[in-house]
Structures are given as C-alpha cells and as structure tokens.
C-alpha cells in the first residue's frame, strides 16, 4: 500500500510462496548434450522446470498459479521486442541519483558506508489550539527537580538539598534507554507520543477519513472526502484504536541499519539483459511505522516470479486491510521474515536490474533495500499540479489502459498492482517508439 495522502494502489492477482534455487542440485548437473533417454524422470522434470524463471507460491493451487503466470501482458505482446531491446528502451526512463534522494528513496550514506539515509520533504507543522495537555504515562520518570544555588540539579525529595527555597523547577530527564518521541499521525494529522521501545504514551482513538480529499468538479477550495462525501476539516468518519505513523519523519532520517544493497553481477549476461521486474508491496502499521506484509514480483512479460506473505518484526497496530488486503488470518499462514525475503530477492535482482513500481520508494523502504536502477510510474506520469502531488495508480490505469482496478472492497492485490505498473511503462515505451518512428518517416519524406 502506498501513503494514503499521496496515492492509491491497486488489486488483482496475488499469490504467496517460497523460492528455492535449483543451483547445486546434482540432478541438474548432467550435460545439455546428453540424450533424453539417459535422463531419469525426475531429471527431465527439473530440466523443463529450469528452462524458465522460477515462480514461487505457497497459498495457491498449481492450476491457478499456472493460469496467472502464463498470461502475457497485452502491451508486451504489442511491442514485439526481444528482451535486450526492451531493457535498453526502459532504461531511458530510469531516475537519476539526485532524483532518488529528493524523492525519498533509501540511499547509501556517504558518512556511514553500508547504512541507509532517507530524505523526506519538510511538511508544514500545524498548531492545534484544541490539543489536550500531554501527561506522561509514567509520571515517576518525570519527577520534579530543583536547581540549587550552584546550578546543580538535585531531586526535590532529596533530604540533602541545600536550598529548599529555590524557585526554579524543571522536569527530570528520562533514562537514556527509554526516550519519548513526538510523531504525527498519517491519518488524522494529530501528534502523539511513543517511546523508543515502541510503547504508546498517547492512548487515544484515531478518528480519520480513509478516503481521498477531492476537489469539487466545479472547482474551488471546498473539497470533499471520497469515503463519506464530507467536506474538508470535518470530523473523521472512521475510528481506529491508536494513531499510526509512517516510520520516517520530515527531514533527513538515518543512518539506518538492516538495509541491503543490491550487488553487481560478477559476469555480465550474454545478451546484455540484466532483467526487468515490476514489484508491489503491501504494508501494515506497527510500532516502528510501516512494515512489509506481502510482496509480489512479476517479470517483464507479466509472469509472477515471486510472491509471499511477510511477518513484521514489530508489534502490529493496524493491519490496514482496507488498502493492503492483508488480514491477521493471512499472516497466520506460511510466512517469511524480512531477512528471508531480502535474501530471495538478492538471488535474482542485481544492481543493474530495472525495478518498476508506483511510489517505489515506499516499497524499497519496506524491503529495506538500496537499489538505484528504478522506474517509477508516479514520476513517469506526473500530476498536473506537479510535486508533491501524485496521480493514483487506479486513475492512471483507467485513463491510459482503459481498465478498472482496485474494485475489491477487501483491499488491493499486489500482483495486479505490479502488472499494472509494468503495463503502464510498456505503453509509454510503445507510444514513444511510435512517435520517434513517425518523426523519422516524416523527416525522410521531406528530404525526398
């Protein structure tokens, strides 16, 4: 799922599964020139299986998986290009390194090699005059302190205090290992407090509008929410147990540990094609912000090559099922940890592999992955008002591909989202290619 204030993501087709490499399998070590008669039945099966990129799933039947993974995308069929030419054409739309930083993509820190930095545009801080006074949950930690004549802080209840008439009163600082931080709720925009250990100090319900704020068709500033048609600044129509945050604060964030960086391939591929994949991640809200719960990766022709549910490391506050489509029941099934997913992806994604997505910086943050060879459809098809506004994936697919997605009330589908992003890029490549051919044709006719 993407940030609700910026965009909306989409739906159809999603599987979940595990990937297992066949390299090193003794049954696959027979020479290619060997005759089929000398191979065992299992060796023949493995040879057919390894003739195409692996597709993994744990929650769908083989029949359904085969049906989804062999649907060639319409835009890919219309292009009719080999993989190397397609890779070269898509590479023209990759983001520059400076754009990655300004757009909030995780990048490697220059001061701390091997650790990630994230830059998030500073947002306007609004002052809520109706905000309640903040009272810490553990008042003993914030016991009053006095300052004596020598400027040394001493406990108010310390019997050895030399000056009991000191008028200066301050708050005792919390212990170093337990600090409170102010966060801004991404749903209702209210501020709340949480400790460094993930304990909520602000225990209050979150009332918000889950829909997008839209402008009226006639124009003007009096917008309305798509969820309940209420006007701007009205009371929320949905109530949640607690406030939530995205995991990053305005400004520079980091350096972060736990990020992996895609590595270059030791040997270049024979055809020069390092691979093109589209991915989409679904996230839930935890005490640490947004964390990964599901990922789907599709190849350049729309085949599903990786799909699995992921169990977050921190305590889940909200499954965000309305947008992610992930429920507690899904995470009770066969899942993976984030480290397992990182290891799987690094097996077939190198530093030169092109990754496609919509709001891809959010996906890479959830994956805790540093990758610089990316194409983002939210930037390829900009909003008419410019940054930081973005068009939703649903509106782009409806306008360009003439297809309606995200119709399921139970949440989005990461497989359909990934395929939709890929088709948008292929459509853009095809249209730009046709435009260049027409220009060359018109120029040649004028010369004649």
Please check the confidence at residue 25 and state whether its pLDDT lies above 60: no
Q: Quick one: what percent of the chain has pLDDT higher than 70?
A: 71
Assess contact for 354 and 277: CB atoms under 8 A. yes
Structural domains in the chain? 53-120+258-441 (3.30.420.10), 143-173 (no CATH)
317-331 mean pLDDT? 94
Integer angstrom CA distances of residue 67 from 13, 71, 190, 307, 378: 11, 7, 46, 15, 29
Choice between 105 and 197, residue whose per-residue pLDDT is larger: 105
CB-based burial of residue 13 (10 Å sphere; 0-12 exposed, 13-18 middle, 19+ buried)? buried
User: What is the rounded distance in angstroms from the CA atom of residue 34 to the CA atom of residue 98?
Assistant: 51
Looking at residue 179, the DSSP 8-state letter turns out to be -
Least confident of 88-97, 202-211, 434-443: 434-443
The number of beta carbons lying within 10 Å of the beta carbon of residue 104 is 19
Residue 131 pLDDT > 50, yes or no?
no
How many whole angstroms separate alpha carbon 194 and alpha carbon 134?
12
SS3 114: coil
Dist CA 380 CA 428 (whole Å): 9
Banded model confidence at residue 14, pLDDT cuts 50, 70, 90: very low
Residue 8 reports pLDDT greater than 50 = no
Comparing 41-50, 83-92, 256-265, the range with the smallest average pLDDT is 41-50
pTM for the model: 0.73
Query: Worst-scoring range by mean pLDDT, 112-116, 140-144, 311-315?
Result: 140-144
* Minimum mean pLDDT range among 16-20, 55-59, 69-73: 16-20
Summarised one tens digit per residue, pLDDT across range 147-169 is: 344 344 444 434 444 455 545 44
Crossing angle between the packed helical segments 338-346 and 360-367, to the nearest 10 degrees: 110
* Mean model confidence pLDDT for the chain: 78
Q: What is the pLDDT of residue 215?
A: 77
Q: What is the pLDDT of residues 180-190, one digit of tens each?
A: 899 999 999 99
The yes-or-no verdict on residue 431 having pLDDT over 90 is yes
pLDDT band for position 372 (cuts 50, 70, 90): very high
Alpha-carbon Rg for the chain, nearest whole angstrom, is 26
pLDDT at residue 21 tops 60 = no
Return the structure tokens found at 200.
């909520």
Comparing 133 with 272, the larger pLDDT belongs to 272
pLDDT band, residue 409 (cuts 50/70/90) = confident
Residue 298 is predicted with a pLDDT of: 97
Strand partners, 286: 289, 316
CA distance 216 to 111: 48
- Tell whether the model's pLDDT for residue 382 goes beyond 90: yes
């Amino acid at each position: 799922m993407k940030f609700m204030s910026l965009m909306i993501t989409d739906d159809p087709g999603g599987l979940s599964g595990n990937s297992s490499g066949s390299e090193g399998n003794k049954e696959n070590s027979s020479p290619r020139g060997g005759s089929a008669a000398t191979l065992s039945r299992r060796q023949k099966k493995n040879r057919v299986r390894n003739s195409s990129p692996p597709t993994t799933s744990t929650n769908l039947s083989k029949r359904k998986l085969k049906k989804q993974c062999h649907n060639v995308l319409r835009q890919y069929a219309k292009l009719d290009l080999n993989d190397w030419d397609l890779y070269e054409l898509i590479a023209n739309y990759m983001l520059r390194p400076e754009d990655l930083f300004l757009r909030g993509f995780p990048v490697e820190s220059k001061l701390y090699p091997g650790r990630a930095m994230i830059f998030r545009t500073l947002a306007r801080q609004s002052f809520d005059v109706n905000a309640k006074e903040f009272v810490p949950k553990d008042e003993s930690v914030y016991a009053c302190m006095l300052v004596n004549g020598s400027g040394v802080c001493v406990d108010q209840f310390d019997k050895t205090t030399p000056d009991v008439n000191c008028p200066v009163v301050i708050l005792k600082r919390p212990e170093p290992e337990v600090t409170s931080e102010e966060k801004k709720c991404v749903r209702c925009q209210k501020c709340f407090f949480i400790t460094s250990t993930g304990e909520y100090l602000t225990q209050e319900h979150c009332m918000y509008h889950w829909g997008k704020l839209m402008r009226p068709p006639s124009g003007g500033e009096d917008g309305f929410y798509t969820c309940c048609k209420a006007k701007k600044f009205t009371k929320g129509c949905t109530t949640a147990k607690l406030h939530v945050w995205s995991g990053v604060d305005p400004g520079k964030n980091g350096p972060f540990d736990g990020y992996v960086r895609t590595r270059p391939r030791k040997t270049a591929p024979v055809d020069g094609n390092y691979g093109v994949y589209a991915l989409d991640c679904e996230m839930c809200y935890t005490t640490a912000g947004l964390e990964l719960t599901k990922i789907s990766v599709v190849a350049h022709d729309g085949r599903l090559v990786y799909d699995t549910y992921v169990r977050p490391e921190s305590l889940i506050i909200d499954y965000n099922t309305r947008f992610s489509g992930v429920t507690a029941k899904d995470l009770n099934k066969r899942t993976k940890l984030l480290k397992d997913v990182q290891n799987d992806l690094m097996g077939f994604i190198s530093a030169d592999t092109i990754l496609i997505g919509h709001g891809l910086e959010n996906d890479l943050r959830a994956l805790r992955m540093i990758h610089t060879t990316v194409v983002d459809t939210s930037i390829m098809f900009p909003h008419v008002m410019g940054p930081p506004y973005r068009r939703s994936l649903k509106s782009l697919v409806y306008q360009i591909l003439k297809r309606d997605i995200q119709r399921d009330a139970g949440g989005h589908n990461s497989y359909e989202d990934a395929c939709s992003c890929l088709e948008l890029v292929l459509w853009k490549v095809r249209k730009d290619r046709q435009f260049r051919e027409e220009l060359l044709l018109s120029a040649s006719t004028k010369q004649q």
